[in-house]
Structure 1
Amino acid sequence: MSDFDDSQINLSTSIDNEEVALSKYEDELERTIQENLTNGQDLHTQKLFLAFQTAATNVTKMFRERSSGTNAWTTFHTAAQSVTMFYKESLDTLKDAIQLGILNGEQRKTKQLLRWTRRRQRRHIRTDEIYDYLVGRPPYRVSYTSEIDHTNNTSSNQPPIVDDLHTFRQALVMDDNDNKTHVDISSNRHSEQLESFVRQQVDNQLARKRDYHSADLITNDSQKSKRTRYT
């Protein structure tokens, strides 16, 4: 047997070993992806349900005490805290879900890249080939312009937004002139943090509405200028 035949056999054996190693790595990667998705979904679902259960319980208690004619400001305070925490937990869960999606997307892309390299059936692959493969499959892009236009058209028919959560925010900090209730320092600090969170969310919503309105004005002005130019 010639040296050339020996080298071919060694190369074939090496490629087979790499194929086995890649197959094992793909299997491990697939298990990791599924475990991350399952664990993440279970964790976020449980957190959201507990927050919802707490909010629903306190809102029900507030309704019952209100119906019985008792002073329900303290109960309103507790219910307002629960509802705010429910909203906050929902935002946190949304952020975690996005990060989990990004992580699993990267892992799946790695798996696709491994399969692509195996189909090439070559020991060496140029870097530009990998770039071409990655660029050749662009991620799905959402048309934000149409969403903004839709939001503007929808919001333009609505009355001006005002901070109508004033009473709700008062309840968070137990700010009732007719009924001052003593709360401990830690509870008061927690209430102030929640009130600050709600105030920030309201400010963010108002800022988004202003941005959407400004974008709508710019779009309309641009369309008018184009029509004027070609008429």
Structure 2
Amino acid sequence: MTCNREYESQIQQAFEDLNTLKVDVAYPFLLEVYRDYSQGLLNCSEFLQIIRLIESYVLRRAICGIPTNAQNKTFATLSREINKKNYLTSVQSALVNKSSYQRFPRDDEFLRELLVKDIYSFRNCYYLLQKLENSDRTKELVKAKEYTIKHIIPQNPQLSPVWMTELGPLAEEIRNKYLHTLGNLTLTGYNSEYSDRSFAEKRDLKNGFANSPLNLNRGLAKCQVWNESAIKKRAEELGAIAVKVWSYPLEPR
């Protein structure tokens, strides 16, 4: 089966994203899916959706800290659980019905862990921020590694008086709790210019957040103060995007 150029491009991008996650154990299964796709057992859209489904399964599990060794068994036996006359729905059912260490984390678990996890130290931090940045782009995709990951509250443990005032009496506690979390991270090409400046300065500089072309910085342009409430609000907004980017399959009826 031959796909049109749009689908070919999307399938290529999906494999690139999956390759970034380094899920080698999934490739024998995907190779079988590809053979079936080549033989016309599923169409271009279904093939693409299965690749994205595997990506979501793997990413959600990584965010939730589920041991990866269970994935070996999952993908080794997955093809035997599929009814190829109803290919996509069958794959969705097989993954949704996994439990315990093989489970596909639902939205509530995924969001709970995503909002508190140390994303900065996450092996696929660039990938995660890139996917969020490009969530509403179909062309001219941003390559995150051309930018620097920026902490909005500075990494410098010696907070300036301005930051101490902005964060309030629990400044140190707030910094330690949220420093490396999703709500406090963004991308920039001007990391050295931002340095440890106050939030208002980072926002209003010539190349600050307010003038950034990046989607990740769009909300920061409208933010007046950067404190615990603002961090949590931004994390929730990004989380709402994340559950769509790495979506949970609708359970077949």
TM-score bin (small chain): under 0.3
TM-score, L = length of structure 1: 0.24
Compare the two structures and name the one with the higher helix fraction: 1
Which protein has the larger Cα radius of gyration, Structure 1 or Structure 2?
1
TM-score, normalising length: structure 2 = 0.22
